[in-house]
Chains A and B, each alone.
Chain A
Amino acid sequence: DQQVKQNSPSLSVQEGRISILNCDYTNSMFDYFLWYKKYPAEGPTFLISISSIKDKNEDGRFTVFLNKSAKHLSLHIVPSQPGDSAVYFCAASPRRSGGSNYKLTFGKGTLLTVNP
């Protein structure tokens, strides 16, 4: 049972345009959400996160939006650059469930290709 779903396996955008990557979750215990970027043969790199007490978090070209009622989050990249081409993973953690184990549950990823 996939608790974190990224329904688009791939996305292609033109350089300079906006990239929107989507993620849905089913577990109501999740209260902290993260996006990671992964290049081939490398480990995931942390991009941006958001707590469930917020609905938006922005860091430079990257903005994450959270809609708790819909159990949906999205990552916006503006403007998109060819170097952004990578696999993007959405991840979730039950931070307030007690204990110190903030283990992450990942989606399957979305391959973003930014064309020059």
Chain B
Amino acid sequence: DTGVSQDPRHKITKRGQNVTFRCDPISEHNRLYWYRQTLGQGPEFLTYFQNEAQLEKSRLLSDRFSAERPKGSFSTLEIQRTEQGDSAMYLCASSHAGVEQYFGPGTRLTVT
């Protein structure tokens, strides 16, 4: 299967710790998106890459968050000094040229 994969699927961390998530998009997709979903809400846009360039960041992405896509393939999302409010599902999606985005299974973060 060549869908979008994310690792880890679940992460439990203590407040103040740093965490990093990885996303591997569909191989021919040059566009990559990160979203965050909290309980009872739809996914909310965080950031967008075209190839290795990060072209847009949401205001939701505080300076504790950083995302990279070093070679235009996989991407990482790091959260420094985690807070309880960071607990959410972090979703990665990729696309080629169209609007339709294909999502990975997500990483569920729990900050205790």
A residues with a Cβ closer than 8 A to B are: 4, 32, 34, 36, 41-46, 49, 89, 91, 93, 95, 99-109
Residue contact B91 to A44, C-beta cutoff 8 Å = yes
Partner of B104, one of A36, A43, A101, A103: A43
Give 19 A-B contacts (CB < 8 Å), ordered by A residue: A36-B103, A41-B105, A43-B91, A43-B104, A43-B106, A44-B43, A44-B91, A46-B103, A49-B99, A93-B99, A95-B99, A101-B50, A101-B56, A102-B31, A104-B45, A104-B99, A104-B101, A105-B45, A106-B42
| Contact partners of B106 in chain A: CB under 8 A | 42-43
Using a Cβ–Cβ cut-off of 8 Å, how many residues does chain B contribute to the interface with A?
28
Structural contact, A43 and B42, CB atoms closer than 8 A:
no
> Would you call A102 and B42 a contact (CB within 8 A)?
no
Pairs A-B, 5 closest by C-beta atoms: A106-B42, A43-B103, A103-B45, A102-B99, A101-B48
Looking across the interface, which residue of chain A has its beta carbon closest to that of B30?
A: A100
